Amino acid sequence: MASRPSVLCYTHTSWGEAPRIRHQSARLLRDHGYDVLFIERASGHPLGAPELPREGENGIWTARPRRLVHHQLRVLPIQHGIQAWHASRQMRRVFSQWQGAPFESVLNFAHDGWFLRGIFPEAQISTIIHDDFEAQSRLPFAAHIAWDLRRTCQASNRVFAVSEALVDRLGAWCRAQLLLPWATEPYVAPFRGSAVRDHLLFWGYVDMALDLEVIRGAAAALAARFSNGRVLLVGPTQTRGARSRIKRGLASAANVDVLDPCALADLPLERVLAALLPYRRSKAVDGVTLANKSMRLLSRGLPLLISGMPRYLAREFVVRVDDAGGAAGAIERCIAGFWEWQPGIRQFCMENDGDAAFSTLGFNRRTS
């Protein structure tokens, strides 16, 4: 293994999942000269040995510990303590097989990562809170999650949050800093061809968080405006049965296509007028400042047409359905502003690129 400095990324996410901010952070650090050990979601076999470090892609290794009690079910203080003891033992077994340099920093993405301070008493621990874990509680209360979250923030040197709502929430325990998602690819100017931009594209998890009424309204407005207007819903589904329910709910909209996951490059972007983010109001999304996938879409020059998410970032190229006289009015605004907004979209992508995120996180650039 190369003798580059090492960083530990502690997560509850599998490396093979669709890329999120933890995957992007690991690749960002790798590209800036660090070796990265990415701790994946623990498996539910508590008595087994952890999966030891293995190289997933150049410069990034993955390992998977065992889990004793799922974080949603640790409702008693003794359960938190036993899980922390078990997790510490699992992690030390993983580290015993790490052949890279000692970990210079820890980037923690888990709301229950407070036990890491006991393993790394002198390390710089930066915690990134990327979801409203309390709102996502499977139980009718969330005091046990808040307990973990508070301990984790207090055990960290620095705390970041991906939305202003989360920054406000964490303010009860620490001084958190806003960390917006960043562009992982440079801005590419849209194709100026003869094709009519008559498609709307949703590119993300096709799941029950989507507002089907907004999608149906957008489909009807497109059909009235363009003879070949279509709404494309592209991506995976996590909730069992959700894809079938969504297809049934959109059966009356003949110009809506529900498609399997694919890369943006494989889609007819020359025909896309705007990226559609049609979310319904819910605790899980009401505090979103900028959806992670937004930067990938903006990097392709696509304005954002959104619903729900009342605290979403305000920019001229972010068009809210409710503020534009419904879907038809929002589509007309996108038609009128598409090319006029491109300089602003390009500037926003440049100001929120990987180098900016790397600097915000406080790391020092290394040479390979």
254-297 pLDDT per residue, tens: 999 999 999 999 999 999 999 999 999 888 788 899 998 999 99
Q: In the predicted model, what is the mean pLDDT of the chain?
A: 91
Q: pLDDT per residue over 83-111, tens digit each?
A: 889 999 999 999 999 999 999 899 999 99
**Percent of the chain at pLDDT exceeding 90:** 76
- Mean pLDDT (whole number) for 143-157: 93
Answer for the pair 29, 107: CB distance below 8 angstroms, yes or no.
yes
- Closest-CA residue to 95 (of 27, 14, 10, 24): 10
pLDDT at 2 over 60: no
Please tell me the predicted confidence (pLDDT) of residue 342. 98
Concatenating the DSSP letter of every residue in 108-147 gives E--TT-TTHHHH-TTSEEEEEE-S-TTTT-SSS--HHHHH
pLDDT at 191 over 80: yes
Please tell me the predicted confidence (pLDDT) of residue 356. 93
Q: No. of H helices and E strands in the chain?
A: 11, 14
Q: CATH 3.40.50.2000 in the chain, residues?
A: 6-182+353-361, 199-348
pLDDT at 139 over 80: no
What is the C-alpha separation between 117 and 96, in angstroms, rounded?
17
Please tell me the predicted confidence (pLDDT) of residue 366. 57
What is the C-alpha separation between 127 and 124, in angstroms, rounded?
10
Report, in this order, helix, strand and coil percent for the chain, each rounded to 5: 35, 20, 45
Please tell me the predicted confidence (pLDDT) of residue 327. 94
Task: Output 277 or 76, whichever has higher pLDDT.
Answer: 277
Please tell me the predicted confidence (pLDDT) of residue 1. 53
Please tell me the predicted confidence (pLDDT) of residue 133. 84
Task: Output 74 or 352, whichever has higher pLDDT.
Answer: 352
Q: Which CATH architecture has domain 199-348?
A: 3-Layer(aba) Sandwich (3.40)
Task: State whether the Cα torsion 122-144-131-175 is positive or negative.
Answer: negative
* Banded pLDDT at 364 (limits 50, 70, 90): low
- Mean pLDDT (whole number) for 174-194: 92
pLDDT at 130 over 70: yes
**Percent of the chain at pLDDT exceeding 70:** 96
Answer for the pair 160, 361: CB distance below 8 angstroms, yes or no.
yes
Phi then psi dihedrals of residue 51, to 5 deg: -75, 120
Q: Which CATH class is domain 6-182+353-361?
A: alpha beta
- Closest-CA residue to 114 (of 75, 72, 85): 85
Q: pLDDT per residue over 207-248, tens digit each?
A: 999 999 999 999 999 999 999 999 999 999 988 999 999 999
- Closest-CA residue to 106 (of 89, 91, 86): 91
State which amino acid sits at residue 122.
E
Name the pTM for this structure: 0.87
- Closest-CA residue to 59 (of 86, 95, 31): 31
| CA angle, 154 then 159 then 71, to 5° | 65
Tokens of 81: 């303590």
What is the C-alpha separation between 319 and 275, in angstroms, rounded?
10
Through-space distance between the first and last CA atoms of the chain, rounded to whole angstroms: 12
pLDDT at 131 over 90: no
